[in-house]
Amino acid sequence: MLIKTFIIIFLALVSHIVSAAQPFAIAIHGGAGTILKSSMTPELEAQYRKKLDDAKQLGYSILSSGGTSEQAVLSVIKILEDSPLFNAGIGAVYTYEGQHELDASVMDGKSRMAGAITGVKTVRHPIELASAVMHKSVHVMLSGSGAENFATTVGLEQIDNSIFNTKRRFESLQRAKAKMKASANWLKNEDFRYGTVGAVALDKFGNLFAGTSTGGMTAKRWGRIGDSPIIGAGTFADNKSCAVSATGHGEFFIRFNVASDICARVAYQGKSIKQAGDEVIFDVLEPVGGTGGVIIIDTKGNIHMPFNTAGMYRAARSNNGVDKVLIYREE
């Protein structure tokens, strides 16, 4: 009897030590751009910090109670899609025609399965639809009305496009249109697109997952699609290297295949996520005028969040001591 009790206590202790040693972590972003303390009110800054903190805490508690990295990433992104502060879901930017066309993608680092949707107008949580494409279709990417039809077949809530309206983004559209009249180079202005959301996580089972959701770029037309729903550009995950979610000037992130380039440097050149991320953001993108940033996580729970803009809304927490919410160039 005594020996049996001893064995049970011993096994419980071993399992506790093993699970305590297993790293898990989450990082999230809410967009990068000309985010300056001088142009922010204390109230607005406090709202951003609170929302990022709430989302990060939710993701961390899912991971800490044994949830998967996929559950953590999807839950966090849904919270951010529901917040008018960010350019995803409610609060998404307006197209030239005055609507909202939403893009999102997810990728699973264990299986390298992925799902993406583009130009969707009537789905409340675009990230859920991207996840459904991964789990319930034989495809990776669906677009426009086809993606919306698919959403109804998998029972996702359909809403009117106006649910995503906000006064702040409507005013941005008016300013963007005025700029477009004055200069064809308006696209370079960061003010018209920041606020994309994304999350990357590592769970206790050693699996990575990444997701990104956006309204894209203010006054976009002709069905413009950015990097966020493009696997390898805006989102990537592979348990052999890292998971990445990007935000920034999508055209550059597509051309330079940013998310998978970072993971390729980790996989094939043995670089750390810090080296790989810094190289791509500062040495590859910056010289050609590509602005933005990424959040990166590896299978040891390391996190790196480089950006080459004034700021990037971001937060991270790991079970090895990282816990932060940041906006500007601060550590």
Question: Which single residue is written with the structure tokens 């096994």?
Answer: 11
Which alpha helices (DSSP H) does the chain contain, by range?
2-21, 42-64, 69-81, 126-136, 144-153, 167-182, 250-255, 258-269, 273-278, 286-288
Q: Which of 237, 224, 164 is nearest to 195 (CA)?
A: 164
Interface segment toward ligand ASP; rule CB under 6 A; list 58-66, 175-183, 213-221, 318-326: 213-221
Shortest spacing between CB 27 and ligand ASP, in angstroms? 15
Q: Of the candidates 139, 170, 141, 294, which has an alpha carbon nearest to the alpha carbon of residue 231?
A: 141
126 binds ligand ASP (CB under 6 A): no
Nearer to ligand ASP, 109 or 250 (CB): 250
x/- map, 21-40, ligand ASP, by CB under 6 A? ----------x---------
Three-state SS for 126?
Answer: helix
Single out the residue of 83, 247, 260, 309 in contact with ligand ASP (rule: CB under 6 A).
247
With a CB cutoff of 8 Å and minimum separation 6, the contacts of 108 are 70, 114, 134, 207, 209, 237
- Minimum CB distance to ligand ASP smaller for 53 or for 190: 190
Sign, Cα dihedral of 48, 50, 55, 56: positive
Per the annotation, the verdict on 196 as an active-site residue is: yes
d(CA 227, CA 212): 10
CB count within 10 Å of CB 88 equals 34
Catalytic residue among 68, 122, 196, 299: 196
303-304: strand order across its sheet: 235-237, 242-248, 292-298, 303-304
Q: How far is the CB of 4 from ligand ASP (least distance, A)?
A: 58
CA–CA separation, 177 vs 219, rounded Å?
7
Q: Using CA atoms, how far apart are residues 92 and 14, in angstroms rounded to an integer?
A: 48
For ligand ASP, the closer CB: 62 or 231:
231
Q: Does position 250 bind ligand ASP by CB under 6 A?
A: yes
Residue 258 CB, nearest distance to ligand ASP (Å)? Answer: 10
Q: For residue 263, what is the DSSP state? A: H
Site size for ligand ASP, by CB under 6 A? 13
Task: Return the residue of 196, 239, 302, 318 that touches ligand ASP, per CB under 6 A.
Answer: 196
Q: Residue 109 interacts with ligand ASP (CB under 6 A)?
A: no
Would you say 132 or 258 has its CB closer to ligand ASP? 258
- Measured from the CB atom, is 109 or 290 closer to ligand ASP? 290
- b vs e for 274-294, b when ≥16 Cβ sit within 10 Å of the residue's Cβ? eebbbbbbeebbeeeebbbbb
CA angle, residues 119, 154, 161, in degrees to nearest 5: 35
- For residues 217 to 236, the per-residue mask of contacts with ligand ASP, x marking binding by CB under 6 A and - elsewhere, is x--------xxx--------
Interaction residues for ligand ASP, span 285-324 (CB under 6 A): none
Among 30, 126, 216, 277, binds ligand ASP (CB under 6 A): 216
The least distance separating ligand ASP from the CB of residue 12, rounded to whole angstroms, comes to 46
**Beta carbon of residue 276, minimum distance to ligand ASP (angstroms, whole number):** 20
The mark string for 153-192 relative to ligand ASP (x by CB under 6 A, - otherwise) is: ----------------------------------------
CB of 16 to ligand ASP, least distance (A): 41
Smallest gap from residue 220 Cβ to ligand ASP (A)? 8
Tell me how far CA of residue 179 lies from CA of 148, 183, 189, in angstroms: 32, 6, 10
How far is it, in rounded angstroms, from Cα 285 to Cα 247?
12
Interface with ligand ASP by CB under 6 A: which residues? 31, 193-194, 196, 214, 216-217, 226-228, 247-248, 250
Enumerate the active-site residues: 196
